[in-house]
């Protein structure tokens, strides 16, 4: 759809199933016993706990927010089993209805089903990512194959599919509105893609693949959480931490003490191959230790956790399922409902960028090598050198000291004076903190979200600090999804992993973390502003390569002069960041783009390469395949490894981005193009914000995403905005 030769979850349409498939995560042998049958075996437990289980009935808190003061781990399994049994009965009643199928007695009835199951899913799967524990992980292991079976019992219900198929054939004569037509099309497509048209033997194999895949994915997810502790780096001598601030050293000492290593210092590993702390540490040997702890995790080294067999089996199962469904590969299957439509479009868009990006990374490497030689290091540039010496180049070129910048990026100021301020300027909404609602961890904060007319839109939960019970990265999710059909308003959560300071110290963050806060709020307002009837079309239930567009669009406000002047204030004096430093921060935003882009491209292309395999082509050696693929793709610069290596690629093995990690770049084209459109039409105004809200953020998946984009900007996207965003083209002058 781009105005150029370059091109950029599988989502299941029924809301009753979307969260069930998100639960595709566990361990152990599976059979085809249905979830409903299993649930009946738990009737005594369910009956005993029905009255006092807070997950089996709507919360009495505002907007049905979860009552975390009452929810306990032992409530989850009974609620899941009861919810699956209840939904199974609801679906059977729809499928076996003696009346002819209508939109109301089939599609709308499906949308109404599974309310209690959806409630427990939205609480449980948020906690399993944001605040897990051994009990929750054990529940995940038990649930994953059962949830997969429950989903298959619905999607592979022949009577139900016949009703949907009959309605789909009559879609033009049913007098449906646009949202109803979209729901019918999406539901039909999802059933077909799940295997509804396969024969009985093929469907049985699909069931086995789904159950086994869910078990493997959960094992991988749980392994990632354990690996962050397994591969944390212990430092004996504080002198090795030269380059860190006093508060960062104190935090490392506290982390070590919590791991029974008093007198030592612990540096945790974040989710990506690159580690932010490498930009500060002067000790090259320690930098190497940290990088290797990150890059070689999940490979079973030194008797540690080994994800290799999980990767190979998942790749083979996904390829087999795609083949059963009539696709050349899992990538072809995954991209069919996306904006890209096929792997060739995604690969083409990424591959077209490779030559220029590699050339830029090589020029950056030359600058870094010169700095190393000035320090007396004659070695070639290594991955653990890049961040440290890139920071030196950045300081020399732009006069920026990252630690100095952090003094102006205190968390509350970034959130309230930056993110919330921007949302108010764009959409007229206000965020008012409240302290009366229970939360799942003391660090979590809750805000009422008030619309410009004074009405309340919903609730926003903010969970920003890193902790051992939280998986890496940053994300948005929901505890309650918006739906006019069910009378629900949204309860949204943003989660990040900003290092928590020691008690009494300010929460200062990097500029990258500040930008990520804007990004996640972009997802947040996509959920908060949802204004659709049917829950399965609400909020962020859109194609993978579109869902990152509204969030990436919001990132650029972080460097907008008006916004920066409002939130970038010294944490002690309140002084606004000096204009000279502010200009340097903005100018430096495009620094190191060769490295940043190449590490992303490497991961995105590697993801597509894994998921282009046929079942018989899945290799026996994961590491050899990765190395060979990167070389063949022309992205194998030693000093610039993939952002995510295969053994800890959370987006694609346990996550929902299999064959779709390219989506971030595709979405960035849309975001950059639309931001340039806004910049040329008044910039940070409520008029522009309301247009974005009306045409995109409120629509969910009730309208084709390409049409949403056209309704917002009035034209097909161009790559010019992306070139401007990355500092490769000068923007046009505006009045």
**Tens digits of residue pLDDT in 49-91:** 567 899 999 999 999 999 999 999 999 999 999 999 999 999 9
Q: How far apart are CA 446 and CA 439, in angstroms?
A: 8
pLDDT of 329 reads 98
Decide if 520 is catalytic: yes
pLDDT of 136 reads 96
In a domain, 674, yes or no: yes
pLDDT in tens, 487-521: 999 999 999 999 999 999 999 999 999 999 999 99
SS (H, E, C) 199-248: CHHHHHHHHHHHHHHHHHHHHHHHHHHHHHHHCCEEECCHHHHECECHHH
pLDDT over 80 (residue 224): yes
Q: Of 545, 576, 608, which marks where a domain is finished?
A: 545
pLDDT of 15 reads 34
Instruction: Sort strands 445-450 and 430-434 into parallel, antiparallel or unpaired.
Output: antiparallel
In a domain, 5, yes or no: no
478 and 626 belong to one structural domain? no
pLDDT over 80 (residue 4): no
pLDDT in tens, 711-721: 999 998 887 77
Cα–Cα distances in Å, from 78 out to 38, 42, 49, 50, 510? 11, 7, 7, 8, 43
In a domain, 404, yes or no: no
Q: How far apart are CA 442 and CA 292, in angstroms?
A: 33
**Cα 561 to the center of its chain, rounded Å:** 28
DSSP structural state of residue 495: E
600 and 675 belong to one structural domain? yes
pLDDT in tens, 309-324: 999 999 999 999 999 9
DSSP structural state of residue 19: H
In a domain, 10, yes or no: no
334 and 476 belong to one structural domain? no
pLDDT over 90 percentage in the chain: 83
379 and 443 belong to one structural domain? no
pLDDT over 90 (residue 277): yes
For the residues 625-650, what does the mean pLDDT come to?
A: 96
pLDDT of 581 reads 86
- Other C-beta atoms closer than 10 Å to the C-beta of 213 total 24
In a domain, 665, yes or no: yes
pLDDT of 200 reads 97
DSSP string, 61-118: SGGG---TTT--GGGHHHHHHHHHHHHHHHHHHHHT-SSPP-IIIIIIHHHHTTHHHH
pLDDT grade for 151, boundaries at 50, 70 and 90? very high
244 and 349 belong to one structural domain? no
Q: Of 193, 224, 255, which marks where a domain is finished?
A: 224
SS (H, E, C) 252-286: HHHHHHHCCCCCCEEECCCCCCCCHHHHCCCCHHH
pLDDT grade for 228, boundaries at 50, 70 and 90? confident
pLDDT of 11 reads 31
Q: How far apart are CA 564 and CA 252, in angstroms?
A: 30
291 and 355 belong to one structural domain? no
pLDDT over 60 (residue 176): yes
Domain span at residue 117 reads 15-224
Q: Among the listed ranges 33-37, 174-178, 670-674, which one has the minimum average pLDDT value?
A: 33-37
447 and 519 belong to one structural domain? yes
pLDDT over 70 (residue 266): yes
pLDDT of 398 reads 86
pLDDT grade for 588, boundaries at 50, 70 and 90? confident
333 and 372 belong to one structural domain? yes
For the residues 689-694, what does the mean pLDDT come to?
A: 98
467 and 394 belong to one structural domain? no
pLDDT of 702 reads 97
In a domain, 519, yes or no: yes
In a domain, 631, yes or no: yes
pLDDT over 70 percentage in the chain: 92
Mean residue pLDDT across the chain: 90
In a domain, 577, yes or no: no
pLDDT over 50 (residue 10): no
* Domain CATH for 433: 3.40.390.10
pLDDT over 90 (residue 7): no
pLDDT in tens, 439-468: 999 999 999 999 999 999 999 999 999 998
For the residues 316-337, what does the mean pLDDT come to?
A: 97
pLDDT grade for 733, boundaries at 50, 70 and 90? low
pLDDT of 352 reads 87
Total count of domains within the chain: 4
β-bridge partners, 306: 299
What dihedral angle (degrees, nearest 10) is formed by the CA atoms of 82, 132, 155, 649? -170
pLDDT over 80 (residue 692): yes
84 and 54 belong to one structural domain? yes
- All residues at 6 or more sequence positions from 149 whose CB lies less than 8 Å from its CB, including other chains: 30, 32, 33, 34, 35, 207, 210, 211
Q: How far apart are CA 483 and CA 491, in angstroms?
A: 12
From 248, 391, 520, 548, the catalytic residue:
520
pLDDT of 1 reads 53
Kind and range of the H or E run holding 447:
strand 445-450
pLDDT of 729 reads 65
Q: Which of the pair, 587 or 552, is modelled with greater confidence?
A: 552
Q: How far apart are CA 610 and CA 315, in angstroms?
A: 7
Q: Among the listed ranges 20-29, 99-108, 619-628, which one has the minimum average pLDDT value?
A: 20-29
pLDDT over 70 (residue 686): yes
pLDDT grade for 732, boundaries at 50, 70 and 90? low
452 and 508 belong to one structural domain? yes
Q: Of 201, 224, 247, which marks where a domain is finished?
A: 224
219 and 259 belong to one structural domain? no
Q: How far apart are CA 385 and CA 383, in angstroms?
A: 5
* Domain CATH for 678: 1.10.1370.10
């Amino acid at each position: 759809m781009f105005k150029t030769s370059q091109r950029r979850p599988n989502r299941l349409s029924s809301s009753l199933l979307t969260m069930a498939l998100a639960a595709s995560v566990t361990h152990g042998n599976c059979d085809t016993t249905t979830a409903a049958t299993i649930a009946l075996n738990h009737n005594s437990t369910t009956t005993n706990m029905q009255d006092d289980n807070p997950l089996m009935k709507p919360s009495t808190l505002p907007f049905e927010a979860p009552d975390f003061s009452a929810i306990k781990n032992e409530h989850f399994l009974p609620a899941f089993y009861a919810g699956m049994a209840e939904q199974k009965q609801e679906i059977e009643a729809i499928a076996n209805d003696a009346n002819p199928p209508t939109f109301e007695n089939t599609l709308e009835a499906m949308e109404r089903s599974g309310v209690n199951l959806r409630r427990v899913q939205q609480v449980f799967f948020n906690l399993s990512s944001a605040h897990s524990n051994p009990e929750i992980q054990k529940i995940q292991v038990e649930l994953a194959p059962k949830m997969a079976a429950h989903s298959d019992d619905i999607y592979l219900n022949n009577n139900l599919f016949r009703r949907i198929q009959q309605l789909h054939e009559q879609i033009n004569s049913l007098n449906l509105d646009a949202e109803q037509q979209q729901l019918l099309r999406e539901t039909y497509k999802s059933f077909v893609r799940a295997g509804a048209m396969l024969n009985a033997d093929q469907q049985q194999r699909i069931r086995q693949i789904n159950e086994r895949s869910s078990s493997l994915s959960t094992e991988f997810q749980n392994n990632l959480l354990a690996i962050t502790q397994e591969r944390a780096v212990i430092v004996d001598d504080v002198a090795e931490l030269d380059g860190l601030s006093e508060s960062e050293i104190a935090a490392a000492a506290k982390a070590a003490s919590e791991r029974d290593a008093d007198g030592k210092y612990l540096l945790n590993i974040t989710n990506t191959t690159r580690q932010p702390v490498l930009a500060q540490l002067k000790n090259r040997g320690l930098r190497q230790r940290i990088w290797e702890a990150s890059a070689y995790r999940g490979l079973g080294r030194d008797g540690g956790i080994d994800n290799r067999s999980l990767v190979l089996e998942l790749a083979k199962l996904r390829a087999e399922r795609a083949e059963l469904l009539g696709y050349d590969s899992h990538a072809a299957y995954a991209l069919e409902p996306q904006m890209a439509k096929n792997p060739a479009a995604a690969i083409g868009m990424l591959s077209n960028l490779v030559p220029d990006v590699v050339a830029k990374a090589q020029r950056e490497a030359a600058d870094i090598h010169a700095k190393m030689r000035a320090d007396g290091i004659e070695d070639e540039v290594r991955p653990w050198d890049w961040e440290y010496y890139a920071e030196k180049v950045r300081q020399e070129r732009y006069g920026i000291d990252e630690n100095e910048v952090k003094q102006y990026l205190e968390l509350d100021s970034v959130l309230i004076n930056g993110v919330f301020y921007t949302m108010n300027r764009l959409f007229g909404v206000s965020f008012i903190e409240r302290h009366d609602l229970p939360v799942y961890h003391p660090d979590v904060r809750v805000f009422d979200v008030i619309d410009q007319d004074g009405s309340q839109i919903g609730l926003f939960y903010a969970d920003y600090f890193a902790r051992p019970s939280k998986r890496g990265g940053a994300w948005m999710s929901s505890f309650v999804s918006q739906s006019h059909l069910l009378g629900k308003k949204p309860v949204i959560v943003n989660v990040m992993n900003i290092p928590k300071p020691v008690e009494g110290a300010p929460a200062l963050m990097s500029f990258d973390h500040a930008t990520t806060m804007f990004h996640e709020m972009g997802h947040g307002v996509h959920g908060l502003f949802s204004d659709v009837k049917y829950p399965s079309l609400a909020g962020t239930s859109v194609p993978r390569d579109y869902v990152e567009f509204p969030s990436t669009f919001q990132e650029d406000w972080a460097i907008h002069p008006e916004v920066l002047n409002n939130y970038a204030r010294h944490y002690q004096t309140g002084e606004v960041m000096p204009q000279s430093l502010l200009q340097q921060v903005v100018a430096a935003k495009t620094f190191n783009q060769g490295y940043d882009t190449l590490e992303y491209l490497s991961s995105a292309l590697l993801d597509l390469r894994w998921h282009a395999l046929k079942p018989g082509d899945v290799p026996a050696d994961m590491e050899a395949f990765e190395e060979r693929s990167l070389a063949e793709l022309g992205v194998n610069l030693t000093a610039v490894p993939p952002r995510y290596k295969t053994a800890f690629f959370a987006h694609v093995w346990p996550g929902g981005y299999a064959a779709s990690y390219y989506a971030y770049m595709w979405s960035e084209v849309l975001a950059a193009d639309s931001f340039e459109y806004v910049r040329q039409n008044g910039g940070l105004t409520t008029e522009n914000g309301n247009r974005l809200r009306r045409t995109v953020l409120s629509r969910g998946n009730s309208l084709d995403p390409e049409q949403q984009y056209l309704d917002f900007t009035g034209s097909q996207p161009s790559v010019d905005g992306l070139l401007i965003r990355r500092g490769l083209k000068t923007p046009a002058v505006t009045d």
